[in-house]
Amino acid sequence: MIEQNTEIIFNKKVTTDTFLMRLRSPEIAAEARPGQFVMIQARTGVDPLLRRPFSICGIHEDDGFLILYRVVGRGTAIMSKAREGDILSVLGPLGRGFDLPQKGHKALLVAGGIGIAPLIFFAQTIQNSDLIFMAGYGSASEIVPIEQIGLGNVKVLIATDDGTTGYRGLVTEVLESHLAGPYDNIPTVFSCGPLPMLKRVVTITLDRGIPCQVSLEASMACGLGACQGCAVKSSSKKDQPYYHVCKDGPVFDVYTLDWKSI
């Protein structure tokens, strides 16, 4: 975990509103684990004030790391204009990432939209043949070209709401069809995406008793667990009423959270 000024190696548009940025930091690349995140200062003044959290989307030959981001507000709009050679202050890697499956254990990756970012790093890390990667988008134009990220030959099953590419419908329906048949070994589901999708993934996996880890998003200030801003309700009544997404997460085992309150 470090705070440092890093150089932008590239910052390129990959869909109409999504950018892939590579930053130089051997230190962060060496420490980063799938599911962890960095916090980036988008500016040099005081507005926007806070750093923005981004999942690490991959590491590159140990000299840098990638983030994938969608332009949703002022911070990301400023970042989208940054150029090769510009310097950004980065804090990371932060948080608790995914518990990676053991070799031979089946992993189902379920991504929604920009939530694909940490799962790309996941797939890059385990390079496991027992991996099924499914990603949902609104339409074909939103599909992140993951071949540009250097994922090798991992195949991604695409679902689009409008049917312009792949399965027409929700990615959670693709997940359900994969879980329908009998299987020898119970797989683990790893998921990241918009909250309605995550909640559906949680219902599907909890109903079937299938282990599942999800990566959550939250507004954050410090990233260290000090400000307690990014609280999420825990399922435990005794231990700890709230977890903090930045430190206890962003990846949580679904059993540990109180989904009714989320």
Partner 1 sequence: MNEKKRDLSVKLGPLELKNPVLAASGTFGYGQEFSHFVDLNLLGGIIVKGISLKPMAGNPPPRIVETPCGMLNAIGLANIGLDNFLKEKLPWLQKMKAAVIVNIYGHSIDEYGAVAAGLKGVEGISAIEVNISCPNVERGGMAFGTDPYVSAQVTEQVLKNSDKPVIVKLSPNVTDIKAVATAVEKAGAHALSLINTLTGMAIDIDARIPKLANVFGGLSGPAIRPVALYMVYQVVRAVHIPVIGMGGIMDYRDALEFLIAGARAIQVGTANFVDKRVTLDIIEGLGRFCEDQEISKIEEIIGTI
Residues that bind partner 1 (CB under 8 A): 1, 3, 41, 46-51, 89, 91, 218-233, 241-242, 261
Q: At what angle do helices 195-208 and 171-180 cross, to 10 degrees?
A: 10
Token readout for 113 is 């939209």
Residue placing its CB nearer to partner 1 in the complex, 93 or 166: 93
Q: How far is the CB of 208 from partner 1 (least distance, A)?
A: 28
Q: Is 63 helix (H, G, I), strand (E, B) or coil?
A: coil
Q: How far is the CB of 226 from partner 1 (least distance, A)?
A: 3
Q: How far is the CB of 233 from partner 1 (least distance, A)?
A: 7
Q: How far is the CB of 48 from partner 1 (least distance, A)?
A: 6
CA–CA separation, 46 vs 14, rounded Å?
29
Helix (H) or strand (E) holding 74: helix 74-80
Dihedral pair phi/psi, residue 8, rounded to 5°: -80, 120
Residue placing its CB nearer to partner 1 in the complex, 22 or 52: 52
Token readout for 175 is 């997940």
Residue placing its CB nearer to partner 1 in the complex, 6 or 160: 6
Alpha helices in 88-170 (DSSP H): 116-126
CA–CA separation, 209 vs 240, rounded Å?
24
Residue placing its CB nearer to partner 1 in the complex, 2 or 206: 2
Give the residues across from 69 on adjacent strands: 19
Q: How far is the CB of 126 from partner 1 (least distance, A)?
A: 29
Residue placing its CB nearer to partner 1 in the complex, 144 or 230: 230
Q: Check: CB of residue 20 under 8 Å from CB of residue 148.
A: yes
